[in-house]
A and B are shown apart, each in its own frame.
Chain A
């Protein structure tokens, strides 16, 4: 049973460039959430996708956008990169339930460095 996978593992970009990160959820999961984790901080919620739509969004600018595909995999796009975007980007998958008690499982993350 494959867990959550993310690619690439590491990425170095220059200010102003654009980046796309990818995530495949755990088998059987239908919801994907993206988080940004700066050094020494807890993960910050970016947005969540369910049924190929953005279901909710955290306090991140429109430079951050995403997509979910019919197979539940997801992409995170960041445009016009800033130095402050350097962080570990985590993808988490879960199974949407009415009870809202779902547990999330994280991928290994993509470490993005912006120079």
Chain B
């Protein structure tokens, strides 16, 4: 089982739609969680950290479910500019320290 798993998609949605992505992780000792956005042939950019109580940033909402070991990202009122790959990242303990583990990413295409 992969340490961090995401549905690769693609998710094709019309403008204005609401879309949600889930990401599961295997290490219950994982401490922190993030969503990154990556445009084609560009570097990943931090979209938001995911807090235990859930957090919102404009049209984006992130949730953490430690019991079921998954995080989610909800995008409301999708824009064409939201088209990108969304990477789930888990900061997991290893050998006495921590490291970032990335999922393979979920591709989103917002259609006009």
Q: How large is the interface on B (under 10, 10 to 19, 20 to 34, 35 or more residues)?
A: 20 to 34
Of the listed stretches A13-21, A36-44, A72-80, chain B binds A36-44
Contact A106 B43 (CB under 8 A): yes
Tell me, yes or no, whether A71 is within 8 Å of chain B by CB: no
Contact A109 B46 (CB under 8 A): no
Q: Which chain B positions have C-beta within 8 A of A101?
A: 31-32, 49, 91
Tell me, yes or no, whether A68 is within 8 Å of chain B by CB: no
Q: How many residues of A contact B (CB 8 A)?
A: 26
The secondary structure that dominates the B interface is: strand
Query: Given A90-B43, A103-B34, A42 and B94 touching (CB < 8 A)?
Result: no
Q: Which chain A positions have C-beta within 8 A of B61?
A: none
Q: Which chain A positions have C-beta within 8 A of B103?
A: 42
Contact A42 B45 (CB under 8 A): no
Tell me, yes or no, whether A63 is within 8 Å of chain B by CB: no
Interfacial residues, chain A to chain B (CB-CB below 8 A) = 33, 35, 40-45, 48, 55-56, 58, 88, 90, 92, 99-101, 103-109, 111
Q: What would 25 A/B residue contacts be, using CB atoms closer than 8 Å?
A: A35-B102, A40-B104, A41-B104, A42-B4, A42-B87, A42-B102, A43-B87, A44-B102, A45-B99, A45-B102, A48-B99, A56-B99, A58-B99, A90-B44, A99-B31, A100-B32, A100-B98, A101-B31, A103-B34, A103-B46, A104-B100, A106-B43, A108-B42, A108-B43, A111-B41
* Further 9 A-B residue pairs, CB within 8 A, beyond A42-B103, A55-B97, A100-B31: A41-B104, A43-B87, A88-B41, A99-B31, A100-B93, A100-B98, A101-B31, A101-B32, A105-B46
